[in-house]
């Protein structure tokens, strides 16, 4: 009945780590309580004192049960030791690590395994260095606290304390001291019995005075004047955890003095935690290692509103003396150690809370400890509800303890098995693996089932720490044995490549989705890890490059790239592992493979696409009269280049890929500006008929077997002459032009004037006289109008005129004109020779737009642009490698380079031209002529410097240098300086200079060294020699031209003489006599 009416005492919670990871809560068991009640026969305060003693009271030494000079153990605040035991604990402090028993593995206070020191009072208990230091500090503090009291021993006041002269550990305030002196019969004041007048002092033993005081005068003065230190050091304002504070009373009322209920205060604190600072601080006394409150209702409100870890503001008293022993002892009425308090008039209630799924096995064994410590009844209804029965405060406290000590330590987790076969492996044969797991983690339960998606899972529930370890072990087993699928994302467009690259390499099942670019692998974790490592290595080496094909020409280019049965792609890929994918719908080409191979294949594919992309080159303008020539060769050019070529007017258009267009353009340029040639003559109109022949027979004869075209365009401004233009293959044009020139160059045209009456007589009937005059001559006479024109070979024309004058002396000769001359292509002016045409074109003062090739091949074009294109192909034209300017010969190129107007440079030794100075410098390092020339220049330079220091007689060789006092010392110094043995790196130069020095020493003399050592002078000499050569060549050419003119003149005179002689031989005697008489 007493157990049912009283609240069961609750021991303070001390948590320490245990090997299995659970939390051990120090609670008094029912056997201890019943044993204490039996010893004290359930008698009120005796039961409470017994219960307190059973908890480990600090009223006696825990080792020897002495009550003198007790000191509290900082490792276990429920234990105390006397001064002797404390000293014995302190002495072996330095040997603590050596005396510790081997069975202790953790600190008795904090559970740390490092630096353990044994407890001298209990050698089976050890403390870590931190707890050991706090224990020593607590010992020193407790020793000091026993010297002097800091509160009144009667009322607990802190003001005006006076020390008791006999009991130095007691003090009294001023009011209690006066009351002690005046009060008679007070239990706290000593009265002198009437029969003890000669009694001794209670303190020092001296004989007392007759005034009846209990102390001698000296001690009384010391007692009157000796005041203990009045200090407020016994109280301090601070914040402590709410769970560390205990109740001092066993019961409290349900409301405060002002009438406010505890429930209202609890609601205020729960709504706003800051209200705690508006409530007066609760008074807390440190008593026997515990914190005991003097304001139990406020502490109860705080406990109901906050968790135990909440820091609350308190007024902390160091001991009950600093607070007031009498008041403290009067309030200390708790019978359960201060862990619970009973509210007077509290009603019973019942609450039900839901349990976590499948957690009844974990909750049920832990409800007994909550029921014993709180007093409420807890039992499980079914498997999902927890019913709590008791007073409202008991129910709330029981639920708080249930949430803190049970629910917060419970955890449930699941591990996906991924494979149903793994369940059997986890359970093991006859449950061996599951049993081993249960032995390792006794507070856990392992069950199997399925989640919401139907995936098999293993459910692990139990204590938090054990569940985490068990989950780790089960996950490791699943990872090791489960066969599952894993997805790997592959690079874009790489499906086919990885299908081929991974063939016969992976030992697990895998599949590759080419459209989505993903790879699925199936196997155990180890197998999947190896496969993933292999795939990731391939991905790190993989490279993909994309080429875009032009939209309009994409289908043809893609088909061209693939080729018949993929032959072109195979040729482009070669021996590499690269794959070329043609996306016809996207108009792109993907090159897939390893990084070191993709680059080369990408370059080849790109070049192939560029070469096969259809382009159109800029229109090519034909040269005058070249249409027929290009048209004849067009079929050949098309067959060779396979390009689309068509001519519109004078413009040629070329379409095709880069290679086709390039080949066609090169062939057409060669046709137009290298093979095609035009030669233009100015022919006297009288000879055109003879030149053409009857029915064009002469022209056909000239064109037979030759690729030429002869045309006779009219000259509207001049009617007496006609242009003869010969175009076609260069060699054929030159041959036909030479034939026409040789045929017409010997013919002339002479005009004849006579009187009208003489015309008929000269012609006679039907031109009988003219026919007789022309007999045997190749002349043509135009007698339709005056003047007459006689055309033919010069000798025949002169013979005809001589015969005509014999009959008709009144004939007068008019203008004589050439039958043919060379025409300028630009201005169509006539010239006697090609040289004059070239000279005319080269002259800038003529205003003619024609241009001639600088290479001297004789080609003349109507415009500079056409001539420039010819010079690009002409083999006789020399080009500068830097600016690509055209020159007539290598000497002109070298002169241009020497002027340094461009970046080209020439080697000084061999005169070879290079594109820039760096290339020329690298060439000069190994050029033998340059090295020889440089050697000569250096030698001449050093010899000149030496000769500048010598006298003229030694230089000329008039005397030996060894005999000249002025030059002897200088020559000797030069011998030592230029000796070959002292110049191993320039031995050749030193040898040559030393030879000249020896010649000067022996008196042989040297030739002018200054002239041989200066490249400027040598260059000037070379230029002067070149000018002389050119002047001589011009003079020789002029002489040849003069000789040629004289030869022509002599030939003409010879022809005239022969014609006159032949005329004389053929003339009749009568006519000859009359002709002679007429002359």
What local confidence, expressed as pLDDT, does residue 67 receive? 57
Q: Is the pLDDT of residue 1014 over 50?
A: no
362, burial (CB in 10 Å: exposed 0-12, middle 13-18, buried 19+): buried
3-state SS assignment for residue 456: strand
Handedness of CA 87, 90, 95, 99 (dihedral sign): positive
Residues whose CB falls within 8 Å of the CB of residue 174, separated by 6 or more in sequence, listed in order: 159, 160, 162
Integer CA distances (angstroms), 844 to 851, 857, 942, in order? 10, 20, 50
Query: Which of 712-716, 835-839, 1035-1039 has the lowest average pLDDT?
Result: 712-716
Where residue 1025 falls (left for φ over 0; alpha for ψ -120 to 50; beta otherwise) is alpha
How far from each other are the two terminal CA atoms of the chain, in whole angstroms?
Answer: 194
Integer CA distances (angstroms), 64 to 117, 120, 140, 1057, in order? 21, 13, 21, 175
Beta carbons within 10 angstroms of residue 798's beta carbon: 24
DSSP label at 41? T
Tell me if 989 sits within 8 A of 983, measured CB to CB.
yes
Mean pLDDT over 934-939 rounds to 85
Q: What is the pLDDT of residues 413-465, one digit of tens each?
A: 888 887 777 888 888 888 888 888 888 888 888 888 888 888 888 888 998 88
Tell me how far apart the alpha carbons of residues 645 and 631 are, in angstroms, rounded to a whole number: 10
Q: What angle do CA 814, 816, 822 make, to 5 degrees?
A: 155
What local confidence, expressed as pLDDT, does residue 180 receive? 65
Query: Which of 283-287, 672-676, 769-773, 921-925 has the lowest average pLDDT?
Result: 769-773
Tell me how far apart the alpha carbons of residues 618 and 602 are, in angstroms, rounded to a whole number: 29
pLDDT band at 317 (very low <50, low <70, confident <90, very high): very high
Q: What angle do CA 252, 315, 171 make, to 5 degrees?
A: 95
Pairing outcome for strands 377-381 and 311-317:
unpaired
What local confidence, expressed as pLDDT, does residue 54 receive? 32
Q: Is the pLDDT of residue 653 over 70?
A: yes
Better pLDDT: 1042 or 188: 1042
DSSP label at 850? -
What local confidence, expressed as pLDDT, does residue 51 receive? 31
Q: Is the pLDDT of residue 1027 over 60?
A: yes
495, burial (CB in 10 Å: exposed 0-12, middle 13-18, buried 19+): buried
Q: What is the pLDDT of residues 744-776, one digit of tens each?
A: 877 777 777 776 666 665 665 555 666 666 665
What local confidence, expressed as pLDDT, does residue 1017 receive? 59
Mean pLDDT over 308-334 rounds to 88
Mean pLDDT over 561-577 rounds to 86
Where are the strands (E) in 451-513, listed by range?
456-463, 484-489, 509-513
What local confidence, expressed as pLDDT, does residue 293 receive? 92
CA-based Rg of the chain, rounded to a whole angstrom? 68
Tell me how far apart the alpha carbons of residues 1057 and 552 are, in angstroms, rounded to a whole number: 81
Where are the strands (E) in 912-973, listed by range?
913-914
β-partners of residue 861 are 851
Q: Is the pLDDT of residue 651 over 60?
A: yes
Q: Is the pLDDT of residue 795 over 50?
A: yes
pLDDT band at 76 (very low <50, low <70, confident <90, very high): low
Model pTM score: 0.46
Q: Is the pLDDT of residue 164 over 80?
A: no
Tell me if 459 sits within 8 A of 446, measured CB to CB.
yes
What local confidence, expressed as pLDDT, does residue 109 receive? 62
Please name the residue ranges forming H helices in 671-816.
Answer: 685-692, 697-703, 730-744, 756-763, 768-773, 794-807
Mean pLDDT over 779-797 rounds to 70
Pairing outcome for strands 385-391 and 348-354:
antiparallel
Query: Which of 173-177, 327-331, 349-353, 621-625 has the lowest average pLDDT?
Result: 173-177
Mean pLDDT over 684-700 rounds to 83
Mean pLDDT over 280-291 rounds to 90
pLDDT band at 26 (very low <50, low <70, confident <90, very high): very low
Please name the residue ranges forming H helices in 574-677.
Answer: 595-612, 627-641, 658-670
Q: Is the pLDDT of residue 1022 over 70?
A: yes
Closest CA to 798 of 777, 769, 771: 777
Query: Which of 310-319, 594-603, 752-761 has the lowest average pLDDT?
Result: 752-761
627, burial (CB in 10 Å: exposed 0-12, middle 13-18, buried 19+): middle
Q: Six-digit token pair at 975?
A: 């011998």
Pairing outcome for strands 311-317 and 282-287:
parallel
Pairing outcome for strands 509-513 and 651-656:
unpaired
255, burial (CB in 10 Å: exposed 0-12, middle 13-18, buried 19+): middle
Query: Which of 316-320, 616-620, 635-639 has the lowest average pLDDT?
Result: 616-620
Tell me how far apart the alpha carbons of residues 714 and 995 are, in angstroms, rounded to a whole number: 80
Percent pLDDT > 70 in the chain is 71
Q: Six-digit token pair at 56?
A: 């480990």
Beta carbons within 10 angstroms of residue 844's beta carbon: 7
Integer CA distances (angstroms), 481 to 475, 487, 523, 657, 959, in order? 10, 19, 9, 62, 112
């Amino acid at each position: 009945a007493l157990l049912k009416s009283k609240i069961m005492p609750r021991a303070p919670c001390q948590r320490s780590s245990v090997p299995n990871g659970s939390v051990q809560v120090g609670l008094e068991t029912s056997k201890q309580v019943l044993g204490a009640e039996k010893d004290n026969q359930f008698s009120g305060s005796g039961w409470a004192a017994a219960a307190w003693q059973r908890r480990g009271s600090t009223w006696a030494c825990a080792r020897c049960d002495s009550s003198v000079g007790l000191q509290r153990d900082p490792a276990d605040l429920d234990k105390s030791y006397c001064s002797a035991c404390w000293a014995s604990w302190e002495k072996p402090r330095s040997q603590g690590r050596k005396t510790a028993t081997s069975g202790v593995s953790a600190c008795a206070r904090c559970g740390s395994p490092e630096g353990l020191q044994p407890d001298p009072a209990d050698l089976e208990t050890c403390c870590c260095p931190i707890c050991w230091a706090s224990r020593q500090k607590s010992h020193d503090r407790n020793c000091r606290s026993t010297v002097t009291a800091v509160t009144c021993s009667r009322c607990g006041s802190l003001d005006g304390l006076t020390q008791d002269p006999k009991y130095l550990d007691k003090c009294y305030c001023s009011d209690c001291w006066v009351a002690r002196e005046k009060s008679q019969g007070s239990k706290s004041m000593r009265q002198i019995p009437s029969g003890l007048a000669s009694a001794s002092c209670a303190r020092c033993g001296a004989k007392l005075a007759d005034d009846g005081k209990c102390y001698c005068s000296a001690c009384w003065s010391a007692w009157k004047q000796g005041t203990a230190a009045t200090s407020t050091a016994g109280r301090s304002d601070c914040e402590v955890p709410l769970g560390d504070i205990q109740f001092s009373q066993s019961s409290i009322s349900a409301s405060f003095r002002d009438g406010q209920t505890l429930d209202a205060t609890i609601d205020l604190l729960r709504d706003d935690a800051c209200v705690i600072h508006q409530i007066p601080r609760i008074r807390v006394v440190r008593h026997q290692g515990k914190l005991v409150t003097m304001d139990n209702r406020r502490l109860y409100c705080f406990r109901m509103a906050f968790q135990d870890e909440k820091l609350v503001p308190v007024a902390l008293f160091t001991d009950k003396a600093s607070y007031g022993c009498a008041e403290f002892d009067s309030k200390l009425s708790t019978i359960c150690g201060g862990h619970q308090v009973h509210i007077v008039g509290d009603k019973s209630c019942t609450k039900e809370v839901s349990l976590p799924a499948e957690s009844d096995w974990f909750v049920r064994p832990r409800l007994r400890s909550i029921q014993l410590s709180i007093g409420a009844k807890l039992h499980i209804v079914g498997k999902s509800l927890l019913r709590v029965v008791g007073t409202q405060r008991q129910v709330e406290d029981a639920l708080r303890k249930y949430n803190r000590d049970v629910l917060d330590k419970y955890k449930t987790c699941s591990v996906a098995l991924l494979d149903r076969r793994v369940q059997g492996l986890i359970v093991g044969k006859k449950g061996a693996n599951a049993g081993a797991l249960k032995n390792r983690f006794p507070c856990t339960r392992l069950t199997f089932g399925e989640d919401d998606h139907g995936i098999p899972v293993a459910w692990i529930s139990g204590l938090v720490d054990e569940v985490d370890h068990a989950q780790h072990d089960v996950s490791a087993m699943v990872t090791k044995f489960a066969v599952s699928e894993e997805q790997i994302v592959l690079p874009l467009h790489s499906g086919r490549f990885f299908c081929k690259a991974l063939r016969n390499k992976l030992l697990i099942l895998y599949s590759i989705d080419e459209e989505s670019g993903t790879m699925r692998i199936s196997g155990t974790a180890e197998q999947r890890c190896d496969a993933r490592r292999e795939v990731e290595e391939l991905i790190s080496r993989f490279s993909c490059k994309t080429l875009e094909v032009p939209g309009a020409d994409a289908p043809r280019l893609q088909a061209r790239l693939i080729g018949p049965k993929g032959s072109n792609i195979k040729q482009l890929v070669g021996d590499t592992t690269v794959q070329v994918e043609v996306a016809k719908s996207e108009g792109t080409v993907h090159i897939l493979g390893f990084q070191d191979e993709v680059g080369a294949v990408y370059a080849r594919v790109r070049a192939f696409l560029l070469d096969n992309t259809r382009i159109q080159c800029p229109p090519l303008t034909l040269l005058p009269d070249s249409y027929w020539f290009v048209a004849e060769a067009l079929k050949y050019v098309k067959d060779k280049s396979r390009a689309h070529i068509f001519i519109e007017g004078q413009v040629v258009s070329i379409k095709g890929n880069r290679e086709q267009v390039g080949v066609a353009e090169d062939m057409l340029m060669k046709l137009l500006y290298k093979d095609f040639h035009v030669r233009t003559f100015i022919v006297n109109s009288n000879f055109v008929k003879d030149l053409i022949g009857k029915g064009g027979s002469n022209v056909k004869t000239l064109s037979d077997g030759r690729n030429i075209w002869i045309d006779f365009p009219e000259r509207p401004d001049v009617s007496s002459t006609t242009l003869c233009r010969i175009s076609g293959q260069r060699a054929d044009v030159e041959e036909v032009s030479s034939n026409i020139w040789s045929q017409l160059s010997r013919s002339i045209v002479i005009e004849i004037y006579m009187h009208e009456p003489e015309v008929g007589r000269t012609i006679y009937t039907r031109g009988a006289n003219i026919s007789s005059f022309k007999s045997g001559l190749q002349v043509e006479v135009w007698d339709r109008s005056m003047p007459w024109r006689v055309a033919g070979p010069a000798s025949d024309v002169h013979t005809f005129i001589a015969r005509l004058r014999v009959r008709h002396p009144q004939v007068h000769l008019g203008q004589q004109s050439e039958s043919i001359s060379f025409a300028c292509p630009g201005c169509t002016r006539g010239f006697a020779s090609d040289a004059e045409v070239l000279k005319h074109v080269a002259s800038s003062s003529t205003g003619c737009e024609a241009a001639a090739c600088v290479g001297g091949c004789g080609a003349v074009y109507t415009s500079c642009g056409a001539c420039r294109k010819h010079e690009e192909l002409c083999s006789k034209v020399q080009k500068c490698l830097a600016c690509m300017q055209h020159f007539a010969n290598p000497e002109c190129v070298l002169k241009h380079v020497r002027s340094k107007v461009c970046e080209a440079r020439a080697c000084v030794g061999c005169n070879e031209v290079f594109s820039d100075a760096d290339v020329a410098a690298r060439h000069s390092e190994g050029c033998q002529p340059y090295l020889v020339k440089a050697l000569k220049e250096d030698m001449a330079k050093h010899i000149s410097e030496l000769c500048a220091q010598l006298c003229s007689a030694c230089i000329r060789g008039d005397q030996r240098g060894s005999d000249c006092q002025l030059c002897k010392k200088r020559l000797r110094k030069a011998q030592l300086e230029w000796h070959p043995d002292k110049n191993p790196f320039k031995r050749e130069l030193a040898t040559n200079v030393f030879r000249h020095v020896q010649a000067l020493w022996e008196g042989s003399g040297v030739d002018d060294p200054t002239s041989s050592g200066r490249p400027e002078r040598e260059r000037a000499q070379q230029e002067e020699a070149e000018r002389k050569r050119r002047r001589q060549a011009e003079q020789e050419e002029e002489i040849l031209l003069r000789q040629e003119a004289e030869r022509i003149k002599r030939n003409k005179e010879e022809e005239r003489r022969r014609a006159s002689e032949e005329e004389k031989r053929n003339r009749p005697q009568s006519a000859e006599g009359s002709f002679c008489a007429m002359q």
